[in-house]
Homo-oligomer: A and B are copies of this chain.
Amino acid sequence: MSGLALLDYASVLVFALTGALVASRAQLDLVGFAFIACLTAVGGGTVRDLLLDRHPVFWVGQPDYILIAVGAAVLVFFTAHLVESRYNWLVWLDSFALSVAVAAGTGAALSLNQSGVIVVLMGVSTGCLGGLMRDVVCNEVPLVLKQGELYVSCAFVGAFTAVVATRLGVEPLAALGLCALVCWALRAGSLLFGWQLPVYKARPPRR
């Protein structure tokens, strides 16, 4: 299913860019850029493939993915100083990467005929875990945990949409496109307009 591979390629490319941007914030050298870029780019999809026992893992069977991630790291190493706000680029690129990766993870699980719950969870994991690894390793506050922003929620709603759409007979690739679109729209709305869900706030005990 070549549409699925395309989603993986796109998510690897954009996540690698975000990894390299975080590496630039940590002032690493070129090899450090490539290392963090690869970790971010293939982290989520690798967990997905291990969990679903898909072998070879997507990038082990097709090393192009790694070359793309390394290329992205080189690009960022030499051009990141040209952009005004690296953090803004990071957050927006991450929103694209998240959306595409959620679609890629959802699609992979759908193609294996997994149950709805697992499909949604694979979408969320593929989307969120690469960025989470990047942030934990580089000691940034994980985007996943940023207060007052939607992040995991976007991944969840996107993946859920794809499952429902597929059940309703929508063609797989269209359902995945819809998934990415919904996920990204929610994330963008959260970044631009402050959309959020109520967060837990400790209140004084009732008695």
Contact = CB atoms under 8 A, between A and B. Distances in A.
Interface of A: 23-24, 26-35, 38, 46, 50-53, 55-57, 60, 63, 66-67, 77, 80-84, 86, 114-115, 117-118, 121, 124, 128, 132, 136-139, 141-142, 144-145, 147, 150-153, 156, 196-203, 205-206
Chain copies in complex:
3
A96 to B, nearest CB: 20
A199 B206 CA distance: 41
Nearest to A119: B63
Contacts of A200: 23-24, 27-29, 33, 77, 80-81
A29 B196 contact: yes
A30 B109 CA distance: 24
Given A51-B60, A115-B63, A29 B153 contact: yes
Contacts of A137: 132, 136, 142, 144-145
A46 to B, nearest CB: 7
B29 A197 contact: yes
Contacts of A60: 51-52, 114, 118
A98 B49 CA distance: 27
A57 B49 CA distance: 12
Contacts of A117: 63, 66-67
A201 B77 CA distance: 9
A139 B121 CA distance: 23
24 contacts: A24-B202, A26-B145, A27-B201, A28-B199, A29-B198, A31-B150, A31-B156, A32-B145, A35-B128, A46-B51, A51-B57, A63-B117, A66-B118, A67-B117, A77-B200, A81-B200, A81-B202, A81-B205, A81-B206, A84-B205, A86-B202, A132-B137, A136-B136, A137-B145
